[in-house]
Chain A
Amino acid sequence: GESVGLHLPTLSVQEGDNSIINCAYSNSASDYFIWYKQESGKGPQFIIDIRSNMDKRQGQRVTVLLNKTVKHLSLQIAATQPGDSAVYFCAEMDSSYKLIFGSGTRLLVRP
């Protein structure tokens, strides 16, 4: 069946370093992928998205890379800040426009 998962449950990085959060997906027909950030006590917040016809998309301090050959998605955060500490989810959109979420990676930023 369709599924989206993450390799690392927790990632600890030094403030100022770059962070890379990874995600694997299983449905090669998925057309759209999103990264969400969830801070404690809040709902998920959209960070960045990418369509399957793209390999890379950049935002402000964030970059999403899509490797369709190995069905892998990554989120890169440049110059990680304390405010980046949160749980990050990748999500995949299926053919019925429903989002399928992965289990999340917790990012901890050390001062």
Chain B
Amino acid sequence: DADVTQTPRNRITKTGKRIMLECSQTKGHDRMYWYRQDPGLGLQLIYYSFDVKDINKGEISDGYSVSRQAQAKFSLSLESAIPNQTALYFCATSDPTSEDYNEQFFGPGTRLTVL
């Protein structure tokens, strides 16, 4: 089945370390997104990409960077992790050419803990 996968699923790291979260999709979608979810709260958009050469900042991009290596891959990096970046991170995709072009499909999430 076409899917959105994230690696790792869980990660514990220390303050100041560089961390990369990977997202891959087999849906063939052009648009990809990274979201952050804090406990009990909704999702906040970090970065999004509408195609391989397109990168855009979301609501909370400070402290994060992204790389769109290919249509199927969108990586999120924390250059120097800090404890308040402890959260759940979700990748999502959407297909602007489909009838339901606004629907986003989410990966299973990465739980990141920064000590």
Complex partner residue of A43 from B42, B44, B107, CB under 8 angstroms: B107
Number of A residues near B (Cβ < 8 Å) is 22
Residues of B within 8 A of A97 (CB): 102
Interface string of A92-106 (1 = CB under 8 A from B): 010001111111100
A52 to chain B: closest CB distance in Å?
12
A42-B43 contact given A49-B102, A93-B102, CB 8 Å threshold: no
**Residues of chain A in range 17-46 having any CB-CB distance to chain B below 8 Å:** 32, 34, 41-46
Which of B's residues lie within 8 Å of A, judged by CB?
4, 40-45, 48, 58, 90, 92, 100, 102-109
Residues of A within 8 A of B104 (CB): 46, 99
Looking at chain B's contact residues, the main secondary structure is: loop
The answer to whether B108 and A89 touch across the interface, beta carbons within 8 angstroms, is no
A57 to chain B: closest CB distance in Å?
13
The answer to whether B109 and A103 touch across the interface, beta carbons within 8 angstroms, is no
The answer to whether B90 and A44 touch across the interface, beta carbons within 8 angstroms, is yes
A93 to B106, CA, bound (A): 16
A25 to chain B: closest CB distance in Å?
12
**Which 10 A-B pairs have CB atoms at the shortest separation, nearest pair first?**
A43-B106, A101-B42, A101-B43, A103-B42, A44-B106, A46-B103, A43-B90, A103-B41, A102-B42, A43-B109
